[in-house]
Amino acid sequence: MKEFLHRFRAQVMRLNLTEEKMMVHAFRKGIVSGPFSESLIRNHPKTFAEIKRHAVAHITAEEEVSEKCTCVVPMRRRQRRRPP
């Protein structure tokens, strides 16, 4: 998501797009189907600033989930139980 947002911004600057409606439409069409695109469909952002706000929140959430998945919790040693 982060990479797509950077590439999209670069293309907008390269093409010198200034029409907000066109940027919103292009972003929504270019994004891969998934939770974020579904969020855009439900929320109907009107400006690119709104999309950017949603994208940053989504990126942050993705990074937190990824960090949580890669975090290794040390296992406690099991205590041996002696038979009675």
pTM, 2 dp: 0.66
With the C-alpha atoms ordered 22, 50, 42, 29, is the resulting torsion angle positive or negative? positive
* pLDDT tens figures, 17-63: 788 888 888 898 888 888 888 988 888 889 989 999 999 998 888 88
pLDDT exceeds cutoff 70 at 79: no
